[in-house]
Amino acid sequence: MEQVAAAPPPVDLRVTIGSLTLQNPVCTASGTFGYGREFAALVNLERLGAIIVKGISLVPRPGNPPPRIIETACGMLNAIGLENVGVERFITKKLPFLRDLATPVIVNILGDSVEDYARLAGRLSGVEGIAALEVNISCPNVKKGGVAFGTVPEMAAAVTGAVRRETGLPVIVKLSPNVTDITAIARAAADAGADALSLINTLLGMAIDVRTRKPRLANVVGGLSGPAIKPVALRMVWQVARAVSIPVIGIGGITTGEDALEFLIAGATAVQVGTANFFQPTATEEIIDGLAAFLRNQGLSSIRQVIGSLQLE
């Protein structure tokens, strides 16, 4: 008898973040995938769960002087300084390319004051081709002496509430890991109306050139990302997923399908891939394939059976 290779059984990778359904849980992390187009030659953008673009501010920002990046053990430090084209040029120059894709586009926004965030949310709400907003609250609040919005629950709530009032789009609040109790910030954002939470942003770090005795980054300190931070990110995602009832999006060092599965099992509804895009541009596609293969191997039909399935004694 002839063996006919059966098509692999279909698996359902869809997940839902608020009112938004993604074809799979694998998104690109803000600041690590440009405005999508930069990866078009190497990655099939149509396969992604969502594209989250580089953080956008009201007016263009030039960013920090160089050096801006430095490799560390299994990670990297960056102090880009939130360089971006500003919301108006984003809409006219960057969005049209993205709008032509079937993939949802999530815009990461950042500001120096609550009003900045509110105005950005208002400006972007009316614009076609935007599926959701991701609110980066790791930025310092210039009006409150530079303390990051993401480190004080009340400030996180204020930003979330202001954005919420300005938009009907799903609001994802992106949390900073540089805090004692991330669940307190998470609850504050959830209570203030966030539809979902994403975490983690980078850990604050530093490196020194011992020959010049200067910091390796012109900005002195920068954000640590990459596989090095994965254990911290996973712990925080697990803590937050237990603390809130809205969806959580896991970020931090995700490089392989197995990494993504760890976050999903810990309770994340979706994941974002950041630094891995740099050293392996096809990481997102490999992760999507990895999730599908895992479901098949385990005899599961939907990725939703995996989410939050951590077995504790």
Partner 1 sequence: MAEFQEKSTIVRREQLTGDVFRLTVHCPRIAAAAQPGQFVMVRAGETLDPLLRRPFSIHKVTGDGKLAVLFKVIGKGTRLLAAAMPGERLDVIGPLGSGFAPDPGGPHCLIGGGMGIAPLYFLAQHLLISGHGAANPPVLLGAQTQAELLLLAQEFSELGYPVLTATDDGSLGHPGLVTDLLDALLAEVRQVYVCGPLPMMRTVAGKCGQAGVACQVSLEAHMACGLGACLGCTFPASSGGFHHVCKEGPVFRAEEVLWSR
Ligand X SMILES: Cc1cc2nc3c(=O)[nH]c(=O)nc-3n(C[C@H](O)[C@H](O)[C@H](O)COP(=O)(O)O)c2cc1C
Residue 83 interacts with partner 1 (CB under 8 A)?
Answer: yes
Residue 202 interacts with ligand X (CB under 6 A)?
Answer: yes
User: 301: which 2 tokens?
Assistant: 């039909």
Query: Does the annotation mark 74 as catalytic?
Result: no
* Contact assessment for residue 147 and residue 141, using Cβ atoms and an 8 Å cutoff: yes
Q: Which residues contact 63 (CB under 8 A, 6 or more apart)?
A: 80, 81, 82, 83, 84
Three-state secondary structure along 75-106?
A: EEEECCCCCECHHHHHHHHHHHHHHCCCCCEE
Q: List the one residue from 222, 226, 247, 250 that touches ligand X (CB under 6 A).
A: 226
What number of chain residues touch partner 1 (CB under 8 A)? 35
Could you tell me the smallest distance in angstroms from the CB atom of residue 65 to a copy of itself?
A: 10
Angle, helix 283-297 to helix 257-266, in steps of 10 degrees: 60
Judged by DSSP in three states, 126 sits in coil
Q: List the one residue from 1, 6, 41, 73 that touches a copy of itself (CB under 8 A).
A: 73
Residue 201 binding result from partner 1, a copy of itself, ligand X, none, given CB thresholds of 5 to 8 Å by partner type: ligand X
Q: Which stretch binds ligand X (CB under 6 A): 151-159, 178-186, 247-255, 305-313?
A: 247-255
Q: List the one residue from 36, 252, 257, 290 that touches ligand X (CB under 6 A).
A: 252
Residue 234 binding result from ligand X, a copy of itself, partner 1, none, given CB thresholds of 5 to 8 Å by partner type: a copy of itself
Q: List the one residue from 63, 122, 193, 308 that touches partner 1 (CB under 8 A).
A: 63
Q: Which residues contact 87 (CB under 8 A, 6 or more apart)?
A: 56, 57, 58, 120, 123, 124
Kindly give the pairing relationship between strand 248-251 and strand 196-199.
parallel
Distance (Å, whole) CA 26 – CA 287: 7
Residues near partner 1 (CB under 8 A) are 31-34, 38-39, 41-42, 54, 62-63, 65-71, 73-76, 78, 80, 83, 226-227, 255, 275, 277-282
Catalytic sites, residue numbers: 139
